[in-house]
Amino acid sequence: MSTSAVSTAEAVAERALGALVGAKVEDGSAVGWPAWALTDPSIPARMAVDDVTLYNGDAGIAWALAGLGRALDRRELTALAGRAATRVLGNPDALSGGGLLAGRAGGALAAYSIGLPGGAMSSPRRPMTCDLTDGAAGVLLAQVRTGAAPDHDLVRALARRASAQEVGWAWADALSESSGGEGSAGEGSAGDGDRGAPAPLLGLAHGASGVALALVESAAVAPEMRPALALAAGGLAWESGWFDPLQGWPDLRGDESTFPVWWCHGAAGMTAVRLRLLELAEQGVDLGMPLSSLRAQAHAGLELCTDHVEAAVVAAGAGELPSAGLTLCHGLGGALDALGYASQVTGDEAHRLLAADALGRVAGVMGEDPMQWPSGTREPGSSSLFLGLAGVAMIAARLAWPDAGVPCPSLLR
């Protein structure tokens, strides 16, 4: 199984990369990619070369190509990444706020990945939301990933906007920056949270796992940020209270009856976060939280990811493909990447080989043209990091060449 699975993962990575490179659109000395507009399903789908975000646009593709080019010694990919990052840097006004996945912090991360200065991506205002997607947590994580000094004011903002729960802390964002809202980090008062805000969420994209990851990563690189660990521990304690050993974590956007295994709102992303925290603890970082609980949840999360990909293989054999294909955000890619990362953290190659085998089996029934594979949008043909082929290429490459140093897209590192 191991040789054929790895060979198949190599082939999937090359196919995805070939299609990704082939989809580029020349823009003078720069380059971009068509992206599906993320609109309400009632609005007809529209594709244009106008998205420069990390989530769905050129910044994410630049970050992916830079990491792949560096790890695989593919200079043509590195050069393409530089041209894509140049386009992002030339369009700061196309980014709606200062956040990571949808805003300027993501542009700065793309620039950093290829060695370009990201000063054009600085935002004069601090995010008023908290999450990894648009808020303070995402900006804080971007600072860590780009080697900048973590901003104490961002941690203070997260502390002020935390809402006390029966156990621990949670964050509820009333306004998304991607819709244009920004404000001061000083808004709110300690423990009040956001009056009138929707219920807080679980997970990496918009929930406590994303906030906790950013807080712990900042404390790991800057000892003076250690007070952030208590806040992170509170967020993880709140998420732990929702954990069901058999089903995982519920998606609190609905009626709590669904337990997805996704990167964004489900077990795949939350498992990756817990694995990362255990890795930091192994490296000597005192997390100030019980490791036994993290280990238990990471183990259970990996079981959920395993069950999820095995079920996807069975379904693919019957002609039923994952609704979002192999993509990272809410496709099968989140679980595949968590399993691959588990092998990196634990040294148990069984996780990676299982993921590589599943990747090949599902890809094998999706058709010859990766641009026709299901994506994280309503239509096939997405090139992006979280919804399309850039993420698929990274996940497949990590499974195929685990020692090459391909960055982990689930954790943006």
The dihedral of CA 362, 354, 265, 248: what is its sign?
Answer: positive
Angle at 264 (CA atoms; ends 258, 267), nearest 5 degrees? 55
SS3 content of the chain, % helix, strand, coil (to 5): 50, 5, 45
Closest CA to 262 of 253, 274, 279, 249: 249
Report the C-alpha gap between 298 and 291 in whole angstroms. Answer: 10
Tokens 């959920």 appear where? 304
Partnered with residue 164 across adjacent β-strands are 169
Distances 130 to 61, 193, 330 between C-alpha atoms, Å? 25, 10, 21
Determine if residue 305 is labeled as part of a ligand binding site.
Answer: no
Tokens 């609109």 appear where? 39
Secondary structure (DSSP) of 113-156 = HTT---GGG--SS--SS-STTTSHHHHHHHHHHTTPPPPHHHHH
Q: What single DSSP character describes residue 56? A: T
Chain Cα centroid distance, residue 132: 9
- Could you tell me which residues are annotated as the binding site for Zn(2+)? 264
- Could you tell me which residues are annotated as the binding site? 264
